[in-house]
Amino acid sequence: MDDEVRVLINGDADLVSARAEARAMAERLGFARPAPTLIATAISEIARNIVVHVGRGEIVLTPLEDGDRCGLVVIARDEGPGIRNLEAALRDEYSGRSGLGLGLPGARRLMDEFEITSDADNGTTVTMKKWRLRDELERRREQHRRRDE
């Protein structure tokens, strides 16, 4: 299994890296199209929020394994001002500024699990996961590989 990938987010150029790393990891983990693109899109929305609403932060991508499924977890952190009305921010079309307000609800819809904690003292942390079911053949191969190691 590969290790976590960390992308520092300081500006627009880092959104391209975050997107590329997300897509590459999803492909390595065997997600079929269009999942790698959808995962990359969710991550770039969260990363874009860091750029637009905070200025800097980081995104960490980590592969997951859990019995008959595998996947990845994305943790996005910043030490910004936090989101004042979290419940409203998760609704479509809520935007504090000029955006469309579709970033957070859009990312949530694209992923399987989505959690967000946000306050003025600690900033904002978004944790999202995407899962993929592994088939019987894949699991047996994995068992063999482990036995051989």
Ligand X SMILES: Nc1ncnc2c1ncn2[C@@H]1O[C@H](COP(=O)(O)OP(=O)(O)OP(=O)(O)O)[C@@H](O)[C@H]1O
Binding-site ranges for ligand X (CB under 6 A): 45, 49-50, 52-54, 78, 80-83, 89, 94-97, 99-104, 124
Nearest Cα to Cα of residue 78 among 101, 46, 107, 108: 46
Residue 71 vs 103, nearer CB to ligand X: 103
Size of the site for Mg ion (CB under 5 A): 2
| Residue 124 engages Mg ion in binding (rule: CB under 5 A) | no
> How many Å apart are CA 69 and CA 66, to the nearest integer?
5
User: Residue from 44, 49, 118, 124 that binds Mg ion (CB under 5 A)?
Assistant: 49
Minimum distance of Mg ion from residue 146's CB (angstroms): 42
DSSP 8-state class, residue 126? E
> How many Å apart are CA 71 and CA 81, to the nearest integer?
31
| Residue 57 engages Mg ion in binding (rule: CB under 5 A) | no
